[in-house]
Amino acid sequence: MNIRFFNARILTMEDGKEIIEGQLFVREKRILFVGTDDEARSYCDNHPDEVLKWDREIDCHGNLLMPGFKNAHTHSAMTLMRSKADDLPLQDWLNNQIFPIEAKMTAEDIYHLSKIAIMEYLTSGITAAFEMYLTPYSVADSFRDCGMRCVQTSCVNNFSQSVELLEDYYNDLNGRDEYNSFIIGVHAEYTCSKELLTKVSELTHKYKAPFWAHIQETESELMECVERYGMSPIQFFDSLGLFDYGGGGYHVVWTNEHDREIMKNRGLYAVTNPGSNCKLASGIAPIKEYLEKGIPVAIGTDGPASNNCLDMFREMFLVTGLAKIKNMDASSVDAMEVLKMATVNGAHAMGLNDADTLSEGKLADIIMLDLSQPNMQPINNIPKNIVYSGSKSNVLMTMIGGIIRYENGQFNIGVEPSEVYSKAEEISKRLYS
């Protein structure tokens, strides 16, 4: 569709660019123009062949357009376990509550359960998710059918999947459709043998590809790796050449200066998951130290069993709030830096460099936030309002690739919400019976 947004405030997230008041044009999947009203008139005058017959013109009523949030770490189909595996430490939670029920899940189950998460992402202004789960093909099908952008990595470990399957996923899912891509990774050091990790390293070198994993989420994970190999997981992965082409880690709560030096030198991303880390009492990531070191930080919700809420607004507040407590410094981790983590940095971590800012030629992955609600008033500083007082209730619209997938409480994902909920209840009753 060709859509004209007007009477809008626009936060492009381009470096050094302030919020502007004006218009944004979408032609099919991409942004055609963004600028002030005067610039819009000049653009139309100077590009008569591109002046469009609009399929829709949307009056934003002074509300905010900005890039969609990027959920840089999640396990979508774990909606099944939401509020069924709570108030437990990580290893107990994994071994006694999560792994047993996951063993019963089919690819079809994961297809349907992922849709609940996709709907929740849309209500939170999330336009892409960095996914890791058991059946990548059915996950890809679910995201494609809902029109949601998905980057996957593997949860290969000693007990499920394999390096051979990992290579198949990499070759099959990259370029499969416009919504899906795949990055090489494993579940974690503590679930993978050195032999398996060595084979994965050979794969990263074969394709000159980045590598991702859960890394140093808990202190016990760190200490057990030190006992096994005399070094941290980051140092161990690096010794195997897994980071030779970049990548990053999810959680990275327990790191030291040596780890952070490796992260900086290898160009690694740190994906922080504060809601999940709080709920599982895993610790508080050293965000201030990452920023001071020049290590880019992105934000993920983690899965709906460990969080349980897939809400980027809550995660953004926790990123800055916990950093201030950890460092006992109220100036730690500025709100604008957090917005960058949730949008631009997440996009770059996921390889979605074409969906990071609202710029001409970029993919039209756009959200509209309602500034007329009480939590956004008065409009003293919009970015700080979003991080410190914003909520999912402010999300009026979520557009992905030029198609509005969520607007004013209504979904456009190819299936009715009641069907998604009914199927999930059916799966839950069967697997938990």
Does 228 share its domain with 272? yes
Q: Is 225 helix (H, G, I), strand (E, B) or coil?
A: helix
- Listed in sequence order, the residues at least 6 apart from 376 whose beta carbon sits closer than 8 Å to its beta carbon are 369, 370, 382, 385, 389, 390, 394
- Residue 54 inside a domain? The answer is yes
The label of the residue with tokens 């062949």 reads 49
Does 126 share its domain with 109? yes
Does 63 share its domain with 81? no
Provide the token pair at 342.
């949730």
Mean local confidence (pLDDT), 300-327: 97
Q: What's the CATH number where 120 sits?
A: 3.20.20.140
Does 264 share its domain with 394? no
At residue 77's C-alpha, the angle toward residues 71 and 78, to 5°, is: 90
pLDDT at 51: 66
CA distance 161 to 205: 20
The pLDDT-based confidence of 42 (bands split at 50, 70, 90) is very high
CA distance 122 to 128: 9
Does 283 share its domain with 328? yes
The pLDDT-based confidence of 101 (bands split at 50, 70, 90) is very high
Does 214 share its domain with 339? yes
* CB-based contact 307:301 (threshold 8 Å): yes
* Phi, psi dihedral angles at 81 (to 5 degrees): -95, 5
Does 135 share its domain with 63? no
Mark which of 324, 349, 374 sits at the end of a domain. Answer: 349
The answer, yes or no, to whether residue 413 has pLDDT greater than 90, is yes
Q: How many domains does the structure of the chain reveal? A: 2
- Residue 433 inside a domain? The answer is no
The answer, yes or no, to whether residue 88 has pLDDT greater than 90, is no
Mean local confidence (pLDDT), 276-294: 97
Mark which of 349, 376, 396 sits at the end of a domain. Answer: 349
Does 342 share its domain with 405? no
Whether the ω angle into residue 67 lies within 30 degrees of 0, i.e. cis, is no
Distances (CA, A) of 80 to 111, 200, 427: 12, 30, 8
The pLDDT-based confidence of 90 (bands split at 50, 70, 90) is confident
Lowest mean pLDDT among 69-73, 98-102, 417-421: 98-102
CA distance 242 to 199: 10
The label of the residue with tokens 């979408």 reads 26
pLDDT at 53: 85
* pLDDT, tens only, 114-123: 999 999 999 9
- Residue 248 inside a domain? The answer is yes
- Residue 427 inside a domain? The answer is no
The pLDDT-based confidence of 49 (bands split at 50, 70, 90) is confident
Does 203 share its domain with 107? yes
* pLDDT, tens only, 134-187: 999 999 999 999 999 999 999 999 999 999 999 999 999 999 999 999 999 999
| Enclosing domain of residue 382 | 2-67+362-411
Q: What's the CATH number where 392 sits?
A: 2.30.40.10
In total, the chain counts a number of residues equal to 433
Provide the token pair at 162.
């394999």
* pLDDT, tens only, 202-244: 999 999 999 999 999 999 999 999 999 999 999 999 999 999 9
- Residue 111 inside a domain? The answer is yes
pLDDT at 91: 83
Q: Compute the chain's Rg from CA coordinates.
A: 21
Does 341 share its domain with 386? no
- Residue 369 inside a domain? The answer is yes
Does 127 share its domain with 275? yes
pLDDT at 93: 83
Provide the token pair at 281.
């009492």
Does 54 share its domain with 79? no
- Residue 270 inside a domain? The answer is yes
The pLDDT-based confidence of 89 (bands split at 50, 70, 90) is confident
The answer, yes or no, to whether residue 60 has pLDDT greater than 70, is yes
pLDDT at 207: 98
- Residue 420 inside a domain? The answer is no
The answer, yes or no, to whether residue 66 has pLDDT greater than 90, is yes
Mark which of 327, 349, 371 sits at the end of a domain. Answer: 349
